[in-house]
Amino acid sequence: MDTIVTAAVLLIGDEILSGRTQDTNLRTIAQFLAPLGVEVREARVVPDVHETIVAMLNDLRARHNYVFTTGGIGPTHDDITADAVAAAFGQHIDVREDALKILRPYYEARGQEINDGRIRMARIPDGASLILNPVSAAPGFQMGNVFVMAGVPSVMRGMLLDVAHRIEGGAVVHARTVRASGVREGDIAEPLGELAKAAPDASLGSYPFVRLVGKDMAYGTNLVARSRDKAVVDRLAVALANIIRAQGGTPETDPQD
């Protein structure tokens, strides 16, 4: 299978842009999609502004097979993602009975009132299919190639359980990492560049690190090879290890993070 399937992630929320909330959902979604043969090619962060969400969503869904949005589907006034998605698709949105049938028993079992704010979480665009939420009940939804997910990381992860069967993936991107502790990027830049030229169908990256080990600073770089051809990746991992040895380093292949 050599079909290339791509996705984009639209992270929605003033709290992310202000720095108050640190996003972890992008990593979770990318790691979830990779084994399914879907490569995250783009991610955007936008504020809680209706027009901005609509414009960005329409741009991304036209250029990628799938789009995942996170955030903005809660019970408060600033949760406007569902309305923006409905507008992007030109669909009517209102409280839907299928969503209410999920929410009512959840809150009744906990002795909590199903008030206007909680009912608001049952507002789903016409034509959308619900995404089950095993953590806090309030559903996400799928509209076309767009998956509308919660912003709370634990809830978003739970929703992914109801997403995998909806994905039609393509070729899986294989990756191997070779860690070069004690070797600086500048030492291996030239041979790494030559190796990249010799493997145009693969991707080679260098990701430096500095760590405190005891009272000393340890440095190095993680060299990563990526390709849809596993044999190419395995061959490149050997070549990367040889580059590190040539600089007096000891390569560590597929290290545990």
Each domain of the chain, given as residue ranges in start order, spans: 6-166, 174-253
The CATH label, of 3.30.70.360, 3.10.270.10, 3.90.850.10, 3.30.70.2740, for the domain at 174-253 is 3.30.70.360
Comparing 155 with 210, the larger pLDDT belongs to 155
> What is the structure's pLDDT at 211?
83
Dist. CA 249–CA 135, nearest whole Å: 47
Dist. CA 209–CA 185, nearest whole Å: 10
> What is the structure's pLDDT at 256?
79
* Residue 131: φ, ψ to 5°: -110, 120
Q: What is the dihedral of CA 90, 92, 97, 103, to 10 degrees?
A: 70
Nearest of 100, 101, 89 to residue 125 by alpha carbon: 89
> What is the structure's pLDDT at 214?
78
Scanning the structure block, which residue is given the tokens 């043969």?
A: 37
Average pLDDT, the chain: 95
Give the list of residues 6+ apart from residue 28 with CB closer than 8 angstroms, or none. Answer: 153, 156, 157, 160
> What is the structure's pLDDT at 118?
95
Mean pLDDT of 73-94: 97
Prediction pTM value: 0.89
pLDDT at 257 over 70: no
Question: Percentage of the chain surpassing pLDDT 70?
Answer: 99
pLDDT at 1 over 60: no
Mean pLDDT of 157-170: 96
Mean pLDDT of 117-145: 97
pLDDT, one tens digit per residue, over 217-247 is 888 999 999 999 999 999 999 999 999 999 9
CATH number of 6-166: 3.40.980.10
What is the pLDDT confidence band of residue 215, given thresholds at 50, 70 and 90? confident
Mean pLDDT of 151-176: 96
pLDDT at 2 over 80: no
